[in-house]
């Protein structure tokens, strides 16, 4: 049974960098035959889900254009975890941040990737941006 | 403004059936699988439906999904008070190279 656990500061000052880590247990991020990306999703208080981005074990990433200029997702296969860094944060980045496993729906012969459903989710961690 | 459009709320009586719609476009729902998630207050979303109409292990067959063209639907039959939750649809948008979600639908079981 795959389990994911988010960790990181719950309070970040405006203009600083939000950093979170998602530790995966019960499965390896780095399986060469892996059919999964590993993603970050956030949910502002009282609002809906927003996908931030996803990463493959080899470091290939997809990012939401809405945050692409400020976000970096990285993976450390030796520690079986992946991380989120979001810089220059404002109050609008206050949210519950979830990490989740995302299925690779298909890859074309040209290497175009289509991602699919999220099957395993972490419990989420609330990050508040405030001075 | 979400890429996928869901009604903000739906309601029905216990034992009844409810349908939640999710509308998109050819670059997302029209060409990719749709998934659905159930979220209770204060908890993480739960995987409910994948590949338009498949249920993960442990999900009752009261929950079913379908897709037609650029819209998808989640059906819940035999409503129970324990089904009160927020429901989100999601899919990949091929033009944006982005996972997109609907705005969520709050289900009230009267």
Give contacts of B103 with chain A, Cβ < 8 Å: 48
Alpha carbons B27 and B30: distance in angstroms, whole number: 6
DSSP label at residue A93: G
How far apart CA B31 and CA B98 sit, in angstroms, is: 13
Interface probe, candidates A35, A37, A49, chain B, greatest B C-beta count within 10 A: A49
Task: Kindly determine whether residue A116 and residue B98, on different chains, have CB atoms separated by under 8 Å.
Answer: no
Distance between CA atoms of A73 and A25, rounded to whole angstroms? 19
The mean pLDDT of chain A is: 94
Q: How confident is the model at residue A27 (pLDDT cuts 50, 70, 90)?
A: confident
A7: number of Cβ within 10 Å: 14
pLDDT tens for residues B5-59?
Answer: 999 999 999 999 999 999 999 999 999 999 999 999 999 999 999 999 999 999 9
Query: In this complex, is the C-beta atom of A97 within 8 Å of any C-beta atom belonging to chain B?
Result: no
How do residues A52-88 score in pLDDT, each as one tens digit? 999 999 999 999 999 999 999 999 999 999 999 999 9
């Amino acid at each position: 049974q795959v389990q994911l656990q988010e960790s990181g500061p719950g309070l970040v000052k405006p203009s600083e960098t939000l950093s979170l880590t998602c530790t995966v247990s019960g499965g390896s991020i780095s399986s060469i035959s892996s059919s999964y990306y590993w993603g970050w999703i956030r949910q502002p208080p009282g609002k809906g889900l927003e996908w931030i981005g996803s990463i493959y074990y080899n470091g290939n990433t997809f990012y939401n254009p809405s945050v692409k200029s400020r976000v970096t997702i990285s993976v450390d296969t030796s520690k079986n975890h992946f991380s989120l860094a979001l810089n220059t944060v404002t109050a609008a980045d206050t949210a519950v941040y979830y990490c989740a496993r995302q299925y690779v729906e298909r890859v074309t012969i040209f290497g175009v990737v289509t991602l699919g459903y999220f099957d395993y989710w972490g419990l989420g961690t609330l990050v508040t941006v405030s001075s | 403004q979400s890429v996928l459009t869901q009604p903000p709320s739906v309601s029905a009586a216990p034992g009844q059936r409810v349908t939640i719609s999710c509308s998109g476009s050819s670059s997302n729902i029209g060409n990719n699988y749709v998934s659905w998630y159930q979220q209770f207050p204060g908890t993480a979303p739960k995987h409910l439906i994948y590949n338009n109409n498949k249920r993960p292990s442990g999900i009752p067959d009261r929950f079913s999904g379908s897709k037609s063209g650029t819209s998808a639907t989640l059906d819940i039959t035999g409503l129970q008070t324990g089904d009160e939750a927020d429901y989100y649809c999601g899919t990949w948008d091929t033009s944006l190279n982005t996972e997109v979600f609907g705005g969520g639908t709050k289900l009230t079981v009267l």
